[in-house]
Structure 1
Amino acid sequence: MTTTSAIPDRELSERPEGYQGPNLSPVGLEHRAHRFDDGVFALMATLPPKDNNGLIVGGDAALIVDAGITPAISAQIQAQAAMLTDRPVRYLVNTTYHGDHTFGNAAFPDEVVVISSRLNKENMSDLDNEKRQRTGNMYGSEAEFDAVTRWRTPDVVFDDFAEIDLGGRVVQLWQFGPGNGPGDTVVYVPDTRTAWTGNYVCHAGIAPMLLQGGPEPYLASLRKLRETLPDMAIVVPGHGPMGDALEAVDWLIGYLERLRDEVTAAFAAGRTLEQAQAQVTNPWAETLTPSLVAALSDYAVPVEFATQGLLTLCRNLHRLNVLATYRSLSRYS
């Protein structure tokens, strides 16, 4: 079976009025290692929602999850890996094609094999366009992209499933279908029941980001994920705190189902986009969920700052999701 994309080739360029996306600037970014087991680490950004990474070590080799937004951040990730293990880094997996996860690819040695889904690689063809897409997330640090002069694409691609043996530790790579992008890749370590999910699944209660289509293809892929990996315990997202994996998947399915149903009803009733924005239920109208607030307490920044910043971001992403869903209905009407 080969996964095919049911969403547009290009990212949605339109944004709601007054929209503010996640701050992904590398300025001040550091990572704190969270150890799950010998050789399995989440590298958590100390300033959410900047990018998290991962390090998975076997008896023979090590694998890094995502490359960072600039060569300097890539070097920082590699230096941290060298402090955590003496095994050579042989593999780098990209969970998505987005530049904040892949611009650092070129800073890895040539002998490191870069792996991702075929669909992710197919979307890594226009460096200038990708820089433009991510510039809005740099918040005054756009000059950091001057160091990104080459977009190294994956050396090895897969369609639905691949497996890497690091020497006594197997890492599974899965691509279940469209989500945040067309080729979201899940990195799963069966012996620790831990999954790195990039932009595909975040902690329960954090808004997703619909960038290349509406909810329906995303829902189908999430159900496939849940059926395929029922023992998955922890999700390490590309952004924000880690959390209970199946709770996160179930929450996201519930959110996307309601988003689909309510926007579809508004569209069928002839509501304008602005009317739909006002009508559709906003889970972030007041506060974040208590479990999410508790998860944010692990960061170096004051929890009040992290909480308010994430609440504002989720409200913005929700408005983007309503827009994307409405536009997806318009395309097929």
Structure 2
Amino acid sequence: MICWPVPAIPEMGERQPGFLAPNLSPVGLRLVPQELAKGVYALMANQLPKDNNGLIVGEKAALVVDAGITPGVGRHLQEVVRQITDVPVRYLANTTFHGDHTFGNIAFPDDVAIVSSRLNKASMTDLETEKEYRGESMYGDPGMEEVTHWREPDIVFDRFCEIDLGGRVVHLWHFGTGNGSGDTIVHVPDAKVAWAGNFLRHAGMPPMLLVGDPVGYTRSLRAMKATIELDQFVPGHGPLSEAEPSVSWMLAYLEEMVATVDQRRRQGVGLDEMLREHHALRNPLTLPPEIPGAERFPALMQSLHQLNVLLTYRYLDTTAP
């Protein structure tokens, strides 16, 4: 018997006219620690929707979650960690292959083992294309010029990986296709906390269907819900969230997206007309005006919603009878 590896699905690069890229520039970024349980820290970006990170501390070793969009962010992240603990960082988990989570990998010492899913590593092959995709979110900041190579994971897994930090166990899971083909969940089972990367967001924040498969996404979300105990999670972007309302919102959003776009296609509505209809995002997350980035947030959420309409339409074009 010959077993072929499952290929990584490339990101769909098409964007609708007027697409508003999220501002992920490191300018003004500061990571603010929030202790969620003893030794478990969310490192939250002070400006939305820039990347959040994490720190999990055991008796013998510490694990950092995601590395930032530039080596400079990776260095800032390590400075924040040193202010929290003197336990050595031995592991760095990448929740996704996207450059805003992985370009900072090269700022970490060689003795830090990078861990992620096999499909995330398989997606880290074309540095220049990835820099082009993520570059639209830099808004002119030149920090990516320092990214001369893409440091890939040292340890990979297919579905599940367990790491013992000494008195604390961390589980890494891959449940299937989501925002990317290799999305990785970093779960602390005794704290019922997880880092979800781009896989799951606060209710009212739509995902980005960058592999164009909303049906597979719902299967992956249901697999996560059925497998791990989760009270709270740290998204890759946006505020901290309780798990149940966010999972329920995301499932309803994806299922309604597929049903609506499919129905309009069957009625003969073309993509351009569908995008012009400007259907508003239901139950969007609203931010208090004093939060940095709040003034741009509604337009960004609507832009992501329209992107999902576009990519769902393309998905149905290739899969519907």
Q: Which residue of 2 aligns with 1:206?
A: 205
State how far apart, in whole Å, the 1-side matches of 2:93 and 2:262 are.
Answer: 36
CA displacement at 1:4 relative to structure 2: 7.7
Letter in 1 for 2:38: D
Q: Which residue of 1 aligns with 2:182?
A: 183
State how far apart, in whole Å, the 2-side matches of 1:242 and 1:132 are.
Answer: 29
Q: List structure 1 runs of 4+ shifted beyond 4 angstroms.
A: 2-6, 278-281
- Alignment of structure 1 residues 63-102 onto 2, 5 Å: 63-102=63-102
Q: Which moved more, 1:308-317 or 1:170-179?
A: 308-317
Q: Which residue of 2 aligns with 1:302?
A: 290
Q: Which residue of 2 aligns with 1:251?
A: 249
Give me the identity figure in percent. Answer: 49
CA displacement at 1:282 relative to structure 2: 2.7
Task: Give the 3-state SS of the residue equivalent to 2:186 in structure 1.
Answer: strand
Deviations 1:102-141 (A, max 9, x none): 0011111001000000000000011111101111111111
Query: Runs of 5+ in structure 2 lacking a partner?
Result: none
Retained in 1: the 8 A contact 2:207–2:304?
A: yes
Retained in 1: the 8 A contact 2:45–2:51?
A: yes
State how far apart, in whole Å, the 2-side matches of 1:5 and 1:269 are.
Answer: 35
The CA RMSD over aligned residues, in Å, is: 1.9
CA displacement at 1:278 relative to structure 2: 4.4
CA displacement at 1:315 relative to structure 2: 0.2
Deviations 1:37-88 (A, max 9, x none): 2211000000110000000000100000001111111011011111101100
Query: Runs of 5+ in structure 1 lacking a partner?
Result: none
Letter in 2 for 1:49: P
- Alignment of structure 1 residues 257-268 onto 2, 5 Å: 257-268=255-266
State how far apart, in whole Å, the 2-side matches of 1:280 and 1:228 are.
Answer: 37
CA displacement at 1:5 relative to structure 2: 6.0
Retained in 2: the 8 A contact 1:31–1:52?
A: yes
Task: Give the 3-state SS of the residue equivalent to 1:236 in structure 2.
Answer: strand
TM-score of the pair, normalised by structure 1: 0.91
Retained in 1: the 8 A contact 2:23–2:49?
A: yes
State how far apart, in whole Å, the 1-side matches of 2:214 and 2:277 are.
Answer: 18
Q: Which residue of 2 aligns with 1:137?
A: 137
Q: Which residue of 2 aligns with 1:312?
A: 299
- Alignment of structure 1 residues 99-118 onto 2, 5 Å: 99-118=99-118
State how far apart, in whole Å, the 2-side matches of 1:4 and 1:192 are.
Answer: 34
Task: Give the 3-state SS of the residue equivalent to 1:253 in structure 2.
Answer: helix
